Each structure stands twice: as structure tokens, then as C-alpha cells.
């Protein structure tokens, strides 16, 4: 934000300099102790972006995107999330708080709210209204985030003169890195094709956002043919054939497994089917860059010494990755396009703010596993553990223990919590968590510790289930810090929101997931992501010290000389900081 600056007459300054020179010898003059902060902090998050994408496709990057950050900044080659589940909201809740989900409270994209008995998302908020979208669409806010962010702390440090804005396609990815005291968060509505926000931030959208939406920024992509950027041979070399058997796009998606992909969603003109199809293309990343440029100009980000924060999370990479898997030509292509998107954004910021005045962090919210059928074909043990196989074993074990005479109705039938989803009742099973029905267990005088043991033992008897932790075990901290799986389960457990049993599949296996490719596990393909920081005070280089995206917020805070966010537990990455 621009402020009134006091001007000191030049003649007076010169007089003081001459006077000081006469008194203090040049070499003994004291160094200034107050250093200027950067004018802008830019967080770039790429949704579902594995560290190895930087290596597998790195020789094809241009000079001004990832390569500029890798050569001009510090990059940690061993950066892993130390929590599970490795999902979008927990990752985005970590980047700018430096906190594990166990402290941010953002334990999943969704969870069961025990108080209301309803499924909630990490950012759903019935008390606010959507701005810029369809009138009855649900709205979102950061009210479930339990930790402050770098942006919140900068606002506190500058008496609110710092401006903090979050942008993404997904609401959670725009809202969580910006924080609870942010000026604004904007995300893309797949029902209206516009950039939206909520009344949490302001009563109405700023005029520049309304103008941006009036130009229908999404509609110009209707019917676009998504082709490869480079010759097919480059893709075959790095990602294999375009249409392997494990890529399996259902016909209802109005898409194919191979290039070119025509972006219409089966619609005759832009509608919600088209906007959804657009989400599964690389092109929303371009919309986000245009929108971020508009935010920089219209909100005057980085124009004075009160450091502003812009967080930008690219979501297209995640949608494309879920549909085609990490070893697809499509993921390779969206990665190469993201390199160009980042170059466009950095060139713009360089011209407007100056990269020398900008502190940049780049990371991802999680990686992704190979498609299970692909991993199976390679002999890596890939596979799917059906929902019925897990719940069937658990229900049978509960009945055998608590209804040994086989009474009907079975009094133990409601011991696991159920919820209504899409009109059907099913046992709560989310984030590989199961929730107990405490009322029913109390009614029948069931010992919860013993009940936990029955459920855990049953879960562990299901082929494909590697580990299973109970709430009691995690609450007692009865876990090993040297076992990364246990530690990651503990770091992802927030008592008021998590379930009573937490399951982990074997590597390359998905529990109850029908989606082509996904993430969420504690394994390296899901945890190993880039952590890159570039800016004044950072010594460029490739660092091999263990690091994590939880280290970004405390490191930025150290560089900014502000209080670290409230629950920041990450490490300051001192190996790259100038003393």
C-alpha cells in the first residue's frame, strides 16, 4: 500500500553527511541496523507437484520459470511432508503456518463434524455468503484454521498496512495460505466460471474483480484443443505412450485418454459442464496468472515498504494428475505449461515490483502415487482395497464380539457412526478414518478401549492394509518418533476432528478410492515435494539437508524479522540464510 512519505530536504542530508564524515572515520562508521523488508512475499503452490517433476522434465524448462527459481534461489532436494493424510487442505494449511495438521486443525479436505453430525469441508462456512458466483452456492472462509499465517503476522507487524491476498482455483487453496486476517481470498467457481470470494472478507467484491468477471475470462477457452507443447517423441521418451491401459477416463467425462483434448465438457456453449472440464485442463492456470496480475496492479501489491503477501496456488496440475496419473503425457504437458505460467508471472512481478524486492517461496501441497494398475503392471504391488472389503471385515468382527448369539436386529449394528451422503447411509469412512458412535457404545456399556482393539485387529486382517492406529494410541502419544508412518499419523491427528481409527494402506495401494490416481499416504511419492526460497538474504544452491514445507513459514518469518506464526513448528532453514 502506498502511504504518505515525509521528504527530507537534500541540502540538509548533505550537511549531515559532511558533518558525520568529519567526525567518524569512514571505516568505523556504524552499519545500519534496520534493514528493509522485501516489498512483496510471493508464495507459489502447485497442487499435486512431486519433487521429481523438476528433475524428469527439467531439461525442457525455459530460463524464466522453475529454472530461474532453482538457479537464483535455494532449493531443498529432500523436502518431505511429515504428516498424513497428504491432501490439498492439510498441505495448504501447512505452507504459511509452519504447522502440522495436528496444530492447524486442517486434518483433511473434509471431515465429520461431530457436533452437527454433518460432513464439513476445511473452509465451508454457513455464516458467510458467496460473492461473484451463483446466489445459492455455498461460501467459504478460513474460520476452521487454528493457526496464524505469515500474512497474519505481517499484518500484525505493520498495523494492518500489509496487504494479504490468496488466489487459487480451489477455495481451500486460496483461503488457507492467506490466513484468517487476510484482506481477501479469491477462487474459481465451476458453476459460474467466475472468480469468487465471500462476505468473510468484505460486503462486496472490489470493482476490479467484477470487471475481470464481466469479461468472461473462462469462456474464451470453450472448445479449445489441448495439444502437446512439444513434439510427441519428447513425451514418449519421458512419460511413455499416450494411451496406456491404466489411464481410464470414463465416457461420462466427455474426454479421452489421448491428445488432443477438446475442452467443452460435452456442452454446446459455456456451462457448468464446460467449467468442470476446464478445471481438468491446464488452462485455469493461465486465468489465475491474469487474475494475479490484476490483483498486483489494482491492490498496489509490493509498491511500498510495508511488505504485502500474494499466495497463488495452481490447481490444474492436481485435476490433470488425478485423471491421468504422474507418468502420463498430460501431466508432463501441464508441468511444462506451468513452467511458462510461472515465467509470465515472475516477468510481470519483475517489471512491476522488482524481483530484488520480492521474497518467493515455491512448494506443493502433496505429491501423487502412480496409478495402482500401473504400479501392479510394474510388479510394485499396486492395487485397490475396496470399501466393502474393509468395512465387511470390521462389521463382522464387531458382530462376532458384541452379538455372539446372532440376535436380530444386531444391537451392535450402529456402533460405527453413519452419515447421509447423496441420500444413502453408509458408515463414516473418510481420510481413511472411521468414527465410532459414542452414544451407542455408552448405551450398551461397551468398553471403548476394547472396542478399538477389535476394530484395529479386524482392519489389519484386510489384505492391503499395512497399519492401523487407534485414537487412544495417538492421544497417549504411544507412537514411535523413529517410525515415520506413526509420526506422520500423529502429526495429522487433531482430536476434535479426526476419527477413532486411522488406517494406512500398503505402498501403491488405495483404500476405497475409485479415482484413477490419487494421494494421501505417508509414502515418499506423496510427501516428497519442492521447497524453494528465493530473495534477498537467501544463498542460492541445492541443499541436501532434510527439509519440509513446514519450514517455509518460520524461514520466511526469520527473513522478514517478524514473529513466526502461532503454531509454527518447522525449522528455520539456516543453511541458506546469510547471517
Residues with a catalytic annotation lie at 88
R_g of the chain, CA atoms, integer Å: 25
Chain Cα centroid distance, residue 242: 28
Query: Count residues contacting Zn ion (CB under 5 A)?
Result: 4
Task: Tell me how far, at minimum, the Cβ of 109 lies from Zn ion, in Å.
Answer: 8
Q: Judged by CB, which is closer to Zn ion: 93, or 372?
A: 93
Contact range with Zn ion by CB under 5 A, out of 42-50, 379-387, 472-480, 528-536:
42-50
Q: Which of 242, 318, 339, 486 binds Zn ion (CB under 5 A)?
A: 318
Task: Tell me how far, at minimum, the Cβ of 39 lies from Zn ion, in Å.
Answer: 29
Quote the CA–CA distance of 454 and 465 in Å, as a whole number. 15
Contact range with Zn ion by CB under 5 A, out of 85-93, 182-190, 465-473, 528-536:
85-93
Quote the CA–CA distance of 236 and 223 in Å, as a whole number. 26
All three cell numbers of 567: 503454531
Quote the CA–CA distance of 458 and 468 in Å, as a whole number. 10
Task: Tell me how far, at minimum, the Cβ of 80 lies from Zn ion, in Å.
Answer: 16
Nearest to 2 by CA among 255, 229, 297, 373: 297
Helix (H) or strand (E) holding 154: helix 150-157
Contact range with Zn ion by CB under 5 A, out of 155-163, 317-325, 392-400, 509-517:
317-325
Contact range with Zn ion by CB under 5 A, out of 43-51, 76-84, 154-162, 196-204:
43-51
Q: Judged by CB, which is closer to Zn ion: 73, or 520?
A: 520
The DSSP call for residue 416 is B
Q: Which of 75, 80, 86, 88 binds Zn ion (CB under 5 A)?
A: 88
Site for Zn ion in 217-256 (CB under 5 A): none
Contact range with Zn ion by CB under 5 A, out of 112-120, 342-350, 361-369, 463-471:
361-369
Q: Judged by CB, which is closer to Zn ion: 244, or 530?
A: 530
Torsion of CA 56, 248, 340, 263, to 10 degrees: 170
Quote the CA–CA distance of 444 and 431 in Å, as a whole number. 28
Residue showing the smallest CB distance to Zn ion in the complex = 88
Task: Tell me how far, at minimum, the Cβ of 54 lies from Zn ion, in Å.
Answer: 17
The DSSP call for residue 169 is S
Contact 128, 196 (CB under 8 A): no
Q: Which of 365, 373, 427, 486 binds Zn ion (CB under 5 A)?
A: 365
Q: Judged by CB, which is closer to Zn ion: 365, or 486?
A: 365
Q: Provide the pairing of β-strand 418-421 with 118-121.
A: unpaired
Q: Judged by CB, which is closer to Zn ion: 47, or 234?
A: 47
Per the DSSP assignment, residues forming a β-bridge with 220 are none
SS3 496: coil
Quote the CA–CA distance of 511 and 391 in Å, as a whole number. 11
Contact range with Zn ion by CB under 5 A, out of 41-49, 214-222, 262-270, 321-329:
41-49
Q: How far apart are the first and last CA of the chain?
A: 29
Q: Judged by CB, which is closer to Zn ion: 70, or 316?
A: 316
Contact 97, 145 (CB under 8 A): yes
Q: Judged by CB, which is closer to Zn ion: 307, or 315?
A: 315
Quote the CA–CA distance of 503 and 485 in Å, as a whole number. 11
Quote the CA–CA distance of 450 and 434 in Å, as a whole number. 16
Site for Zn ion in 530-569 (CB under 5 A): none
User: Is residue 47 part of the contact set for Zn ion (CB under 5 A)?
Assistant: yes
Q: Judged by CB, which is closer to Zn ion: 176, or 360?
A: 176
User: Is residue 125 part of the contact set for Zn ion (CB under 5 A)?
Assistant: no
Torsion of CA 373, 502, 93, 191, to 10 degrees: 60
Task: Tell me how far, at minimum, the Cβ of 31 lies from Zn ion, in Å.
Answer: 44
Site for Zn ion in 255-274 (CB under 5 A): none
Peptide bond between residue 444 and the one before it cis (omega within 30 degrees of 0): no
User: Is residue 149 part of the contact set for Zn ion (CB under 5 A)?
Assistant: no
Q: Provide the pairing of β-strand 429-430 with 433-434.
A: antiparallel
Task: Tell me how far, at minimum, the Cβ of 476 lies from Zn ion, in Å.
Answer: 31
Task: Tell me how far, at minimum, the Cβ of 322 lies from Zn ion, in Å.
Answer: 9
Contact footprint for Zn ion (CB under 5 A): 47, 88, 318, 365
Amino acid at each position: 500500500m502506498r502511504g504518505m512519505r515525509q521528504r527530507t530536504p537534500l541540502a540538509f542530508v548533505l550537511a549531515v553527511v559532511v558533518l558525520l564524515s568529519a567526525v567518524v572515520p569512514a571505516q568505523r562508521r556504524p552499519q545500519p541496523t534496520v534493514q528493509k523488508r522485501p516489498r512483496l512475499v510471493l508464495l507459489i503452490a502447485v497442487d499435486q507437484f512431486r519433487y521429481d517433476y523438476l528433475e524428469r522434465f527439467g531439461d525442457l524448462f525455459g530460463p524464466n520459470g522453475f529454472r530461474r527459481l532453482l538457479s537464483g534461489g535455494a532449493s531443498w532436494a529432500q523436502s518431505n511432508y511429515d504428516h498424513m493424510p497428504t491432501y490439498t487442505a492439510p498441505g495448504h494449511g501447512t505452507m504459511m503456518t509452519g504447522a502440522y495438521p495436528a496444530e492447524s486443525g486442517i486434518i483433511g479436505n473434509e471431515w465429520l463434524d461431530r457436533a452437527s453430525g454433518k460432513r464439513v469441508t476445511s473452509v465451508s462456512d454457513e455464516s458467510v455468503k458467496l460473492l461473484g458466483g451463483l446466489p445459492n452456492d455455498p461460501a467459504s472462509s478460513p474460520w476452521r484454521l487454528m493457526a496464524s499465517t505469515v500474512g497474519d503476522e505481517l499484518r500484525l507487524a505493520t498495523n494492518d498496512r500489509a496487504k494479504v491476498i490468496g488466489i487459487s482455483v480451489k477455495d481451500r487453496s486460496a483461503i488457507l495460505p492467506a490466513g484468517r486476517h487476510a484482506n481477501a481470498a479469491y477462487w474459481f467457481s465451476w458453476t459460474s466460471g467466475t472468480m469468487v470470494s465471500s462476505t468473510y472478507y468484505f460486503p462486496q467484491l472490489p470493482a476490479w474483480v467484477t470487471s475481470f468477471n464481466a469479461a468472461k475470462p473462462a469462456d474464451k477457452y470453450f472448445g479449445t484443443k489441448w495439444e502437446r507443447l512439444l513434439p510427441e517423441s519428447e513425451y514418449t521418451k519421458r512419460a511413455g505412450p499416450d494411451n496406456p491401459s491404466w489411464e481410464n477416463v470414463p465416457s461420462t467425462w466427455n474426454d479421452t485418454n489421448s491428445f488432443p483434448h477438446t475442452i467443452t465438457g460435452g456442452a454446446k456453449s459455456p456451462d457448468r459442464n464446460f467449467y468442470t472440464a476446464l478445471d481438468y485442463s491446464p488452462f485455469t492456470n493461465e486465468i489465475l496468472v491474469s487474475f494475479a496480475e490484476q490483483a498486483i496492479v489494482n491492490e498496489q501489491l509490493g509498491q511500498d515498504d510495508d511488505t504485502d503477501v500474494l499466495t497463488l496456488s495452481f490447481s490444474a496440475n492436481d485435476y490433470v494428475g488425478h485423471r491421468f496419473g504422474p507418468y502420463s503425457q498430460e501431466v508432463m504437458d501441464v508441468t511444462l505449461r506451468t513452467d511458462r505460467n510461472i515465467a509470465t508471472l515472475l516477468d510481470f512481478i519483475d517489471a512491476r515490483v522488482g524481483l530484488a524486492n520480492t521474497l518467493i517461496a515455491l512448494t506443493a501441497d502433496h505429491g501423487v502415487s502412480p496409478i495402482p494398475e500401473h504400479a501392479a503392471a510394474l510388479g510394485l504391488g499396486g492395487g485397490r482395497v475396496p470399501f466393502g472389503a474393509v468395512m465387511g471385515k470390521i462389521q463382522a468382527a464387531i458382530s462376532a464380539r458384541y452379538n455372539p448369539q446372532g440376535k436380530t436386529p444386531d444391537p451392535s449394528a450402529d456402533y460405527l457412526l453413519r452419515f447421509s451422503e447423496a441420500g444413502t447411509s453408509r458408515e463414516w469412512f473418510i481420510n481413511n478414518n472411521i468414527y465410532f458412535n459414542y452414544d451407542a457404545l455408552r448405551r450398551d456399556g461397551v468398553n471403548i478401549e476394547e472396542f478399538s482393539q477389535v476394530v484395529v485387529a479386524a482392519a489389519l486382517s484386510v489384505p492391503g492394509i499395512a497399519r492401523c492406529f487407534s485414537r487412544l494410541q495417538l492421544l497417549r502419544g504411544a507412537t514411535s518418533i523413529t517410525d515415520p508412518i506413526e509420526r506422520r499419523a500423529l502429526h495429522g491427528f487433531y482430536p476434535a476432528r479426526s476419527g477413532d481409527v486411522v488406517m494406512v494402506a500398503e505402498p501403491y495401494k488405495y483404500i476405497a478410492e475409485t479415482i484413477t490416481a490419487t494421494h494421501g499416504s505417508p509414502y515418499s511419492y506423496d510427501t516428497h515435494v519442492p521447497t524453494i526460497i528465493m530473495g534477498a538474504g537467501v544463498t542460492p544452491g541445492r541443499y541436501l539437508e532434510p527439509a519440509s514445507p513446514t519450514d517455509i513459514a518460520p524461514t520466511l518469518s526469520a527473513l522478514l524479522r517478524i514473529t513466526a506464526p502461532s503454531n509454527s513448528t518447522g525449522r528455520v532453514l539456516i543453511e541458506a540464510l546469510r547471517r
